C-alpha cells in the first residue's frame, strides 16, 4: 500500500466504514484493477473514478464455474 492509497482509503466518500475494506478498495482503484470479492459492499464504489468493478466466480457442487456474478 502506498501513502496515496492510505490517504484515499481514509478520505473516501463511501458509507462502508470497515477500514480493511476501505484499504482494499483504495488499492483496487489506485491500481485500476477489478476486485475479486464476495462482499457486496464494494458495489457501492461504482461512482469512483478508476473503479473497475467487483467479480465473484463460485464453484458449484465441486465443479468450477467460469461465469462471473455479482453475488
Whether residue 26 lies inside any domain: the answer is yes
Q: What is the pTM of this model?
A: 0.74
Overall average pLDDT of the 53-57 stretch: 86
Whether residue 25 lies inside any domain: the answer is yes
Residue 26 has a pLDDT of 96
> Structural domain tally of the chain?
1
Residues 6+ apart with CB under 8 A from 19: 9
Whether residue 10 lies inside any domain: the answer is yes
Whether residue 64 lies inside any domain: the answer is no
Domain extent for 42: 3-52
Query: Are 14 and 44 spatial neighbours (Cβ–Cβ below 8 Å)?
Result: yes
Whether residue 14 lies inside any domain: the answer is yes
Whether residue 60 lies inside any domain: the answer is no
Q: How confident is residue 65, by pLDDT bands cut at 50, 70 and 90?
A: very low
The model's pLDDT over 10-50, given as tens digits with 9 standing for 90+, comes to: 999 999 999 999 999 999 999 999 999 999 999 999 999 99
Residue 66 has a pLDDT of 42
Whether residue 24 lies inside any domain: the answer is yes
Residue 1 has a pLDDT of 83
Amino acid at each position: 500500500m502506498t501513502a496515496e492509497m492510505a490517504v484515499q482509503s481514509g478520505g473516501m466518500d463511501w458509507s462502508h466504514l470497515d477500514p480493511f475494506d476501505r484499504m482494499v478498495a483504495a488499492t483496487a482503484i489506485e491500481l485500476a484493477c477489478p476486485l475479486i470479492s464476495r462482499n457486496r459492499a464494494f458495489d457501492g464504489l461504482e461512482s469512483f473514478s478508476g473503479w473497475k468493478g467487483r467479480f465473484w466466480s463460485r464453484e458449484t457442487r465441486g465443479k468450477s464455474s467460469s461465469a462471473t456474478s455479482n453475488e
